[in-house]
A = this chain, B = another copy of it.
């Protein structure tokens, strides 16, 4: 009888974005996405979407360069946290405990093979609405905002890396992630992997970095309930000068309905809806070939060149990029 699956990591807890333009970035998340400021401390502002149950899901930190500060995973229980910390320590990639940011308790830090800083934690603070934020429906943590897109909750992160397989395997082995979909090139290279601990088709994705850099971010994604929310979001971004890179359209991989913009600090942010849920314990991963991915997105859309090269921190213009024949080359 096969070993039982690891079921210790519950979900993506929060992400930290670095911004060289903190005021403009804050405007973007509050006025454009409709998120709420939860707290401020030092050079960081903590934010949440109206449907996030925890006190915050985004830490926005002033920094010289844009990028991903860290990614945090919440476990199902204190015991589950202990098991994961033990595994991470054995992996040689553990960095030790920190006290925890605003909104959560002690966290154990580690780095994935590509060098992205991550942490696991259990103790977390629930959001309690103030009188003015009290929702009409009590099963919703907060009232629906009367401004901006109205994103509902943090959905996933997508990070760039030099090698997909080693990162994916690290997340599977030590944290219990399951491979949902990946892209394997004709030469056998795994060009992208979409993995999750939840029924979402991905809580995190690893894709090849065309610049051979380490630790870069492709995008952070917030969820909207309806595709129409993304069509409306595109109009809001258009009216307010937010750079739309591509979308709204439908991905083939994950079937997600997407809209990609750059927040003023330079980080790519996705507004995401649709996709599908995986409840089966033995769901079979879907592997896309190079030829299949060459068909473009679900409805044939070719993504712009920048989608395959741009990440944060932004590379020098002189950086040589390699051509990764995935997604939708012409």
CB nearest neighbor in B for A181: B139
Asked if residues B292 and A11 are in contact (CB atoms below 8 Å), the reply is: no
A227 contacts the other chain (Cβ, under 8 Å)? yes
Query: A106-114, A238-246, A318-326: which one contacts chain B?
Result: A238-246
Asked if residues A280 and B77 are in contact (CB atoms below 8 Å), the reply is: no
Asked if residues A286 and B138 are in contact (CB atoms below 8 Å), the reply is: yes
> Which residues from B are CB-within-8-Å of A274?
225
A87 contacts the other chain (Cβ, under 8 Å)? no
Bitwise, A1-37 to B at CB < 8 A (1) or not (0) is 1101101001100000000000000000001000000
Known: A1-B78, A76-B4, A181-B139. A276 touches B51 (CB 8 A): yes
CA A230 to CA B309, docked complex, whole Å: 31
Count of interface residues, chain A, beta-carbon cutoff 8 Å = 80
Asked if residues B281 and A77 are in contact (CB atoms below 8 Å), the reply is: yes
Known: A148-B146, A234-B250, A236-B146. A228 touches B225 (CB 8 A): no
Choose one: B76, B229, B234; the contact of A299 (CB below 8 Å). Answer: B234
Smallest Cβ distance from A271 to chain B, in angstroms? Answer: 12
CA A289 to CA B238, docked complex, whole Å: 18
Query: A40-48, A63-71, A94-102, A252-260: which one contacts chain B?
Result: A252-260
A231 contacts the other chain (Cβ, under 8 Å)? yes
Asked if residues A292 and B138 are in contact (CB atoms below 8 Å), the reply is: yes
Asked if residues B198 and A10 are in contact (CB atoms below 8 Å), the reply is: no
Asked if residues A298 and B231 are in contact (CB atoms below 8 Å), the reply is: no
A79 contacts the other chain (Cβ, under 8 Å)? yes
> Which residues from B are CB-within-8-Å of A11?
279-280
> Which residues from B are CB-within-8-Å of A277?
153
Asked if residues B7 and A76 are in contact (CB atoms below 8 Å), the reply is: yes
> Which residues from B are CB-within-8-Å of A301?
246, 301
Bitwise, A210-248 to B at CB < 8 A (1) or not (0) is 000000000000000111110110111111100011111
Asked if residues B227 and A136 are in contact (CB atoms below 8 Å), the reply is: no
Smallest Cβ distance from A179 to chain B, in angstroms? Answer: 12
Known: A144-B235, A253-B139. A1 touches B79 (CB 8 A): yes
The 6 A-B pairs with the shortest beta carbon distances in the complex, nearest first, are A11-B279, A228-B228, A76-B281, A139-B286, A234-B299, A136-B238
CB-defined A-B contacts under 8 Å, sample of 18: A1-B78, A4-B76, A5-B76, A7-B7, A7-B76, A54-B280, A74-B281, A124-B280, A124-B282, A137-B255, A146-B147, A153-B277, A225-B274, A227-B231, A228-B229, A234-B299, A249-B249, A301-B301
